[in-house]
């Protein structure tokens, strides 16, 4: 099993450019999440989804949009990238509500906005 | 919102030493999880705790769910170089409006051979 796969692994953007990060899971999980990780800040929830066709805002949603058109995919979009969005982005998925059995994380996307 | 206070923020230890870290919250949690993040990778679940007072081991790792349900502890015995990484605690209140995991800010562990 591949688990949770994130693409791309690295990306450099110029301020104002747009991009989409793709997360794919093959575990038939209902719930999917996008986090960003910054030094000293831990993991902060951006957006999440409790099922196909649903999305909800997390702790730091501003500047990001998401879509969950297919159960196995969760896309994170940056419409107009800003240097403050330089971060490592992690996608995660879980089978049960709230991740009682824990989340499975991808290996991350390192994004630099210059 | 709910917050977890994880300490220490970082640790520098000698190979073979034991390690202790903890997480505290002002809120009650029904589930505590401990994750490890290797450099350049995503977090991986180490131990899950579901009951107050529960003590669970995974190899050299032992974690405890505090009696008050507001804290949890992780111990690593006889540390080795591959223990290097960031350790995250995470809590879940099943009755919460979101039902999402709340993460601590992590404890960065460095091990000197």
| Cα gap B90→B6, rounded to integer Å | 10
What is the average pLDDT across A25-43?
92
Does A103 contact B88 at a Cβ distance shorter than 8 Å? no
Residue B83's Cβ-side half-sphere holds a number of Cα atoms within 13 Å equal to 26
- The predicted-structure confidence for A50-105, as pLDDT tens digits, reads as follows 999 999 999 899 999 999 999 999 999 999 999 999 999 999 999 876 566 778 99
Residue A11: which pLDDT band, with cuts at 50, 70 and 90?
very high
CB pairs under 8 A between A and B: 56
| Cα gap A108→B16, rounded to integer Å | 31
* Closest CB from B98, B101, B104 relative to A103: B101
pLDDT at B25 over 90: yes
**What per-residue confidence (pLDDT) applies to A54?**
94
- The predicted-structure confidence for B85-100, as pLDDT tens digits, reads as follows 999 999 987 654 456 7
């Amino acid at each position: 099993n591949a688990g949770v796969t994130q693409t791309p692994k690295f990306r450099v953007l110029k301020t104002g450019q747009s991009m989409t990060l793709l997360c794919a899971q093959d575990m038939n999980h209902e719930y999917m999440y996008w986090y960003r990780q910054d030094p000293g800040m831990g993991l902060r929830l951006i957006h999440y989804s409790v099922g196909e066709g649903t999305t909800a805002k997390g702790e730091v949603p501003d500047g990001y949009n998401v879509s969950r058109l297919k159960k196995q995919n969760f896309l994170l979009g940056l419409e107009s990238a800003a240097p403050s969005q330089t971060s490592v982005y992690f996608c995660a998925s879980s089978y049960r509500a709230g991740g009682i059995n824990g989340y499975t994380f991808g290996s991350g996307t390192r994004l630099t906005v210059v | 919102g709910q917050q977890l206070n994880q300490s220490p923020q970082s640790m520098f230890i000698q190979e073979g030493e034991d390690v202790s870290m903890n997480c505290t919250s002002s809120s009650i949690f029904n589930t505590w999880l401990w994750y490890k993040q290797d450099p350049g990778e995503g977090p991986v679940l180490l131990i899950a705790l579901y009951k107050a007072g529960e003590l669970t081991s995974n190899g050299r790792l032992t974690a405890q769910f505090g009696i008050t349900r507001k804290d949890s502890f992780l111990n690593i015995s006889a540390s080795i170089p591959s223990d290097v990484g960031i350790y995250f605690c995470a809590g879940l209140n099943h009755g919460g409006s979101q039902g999402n995991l709340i993460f601590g800010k992590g404890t960065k562990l460095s091990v000197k051979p």
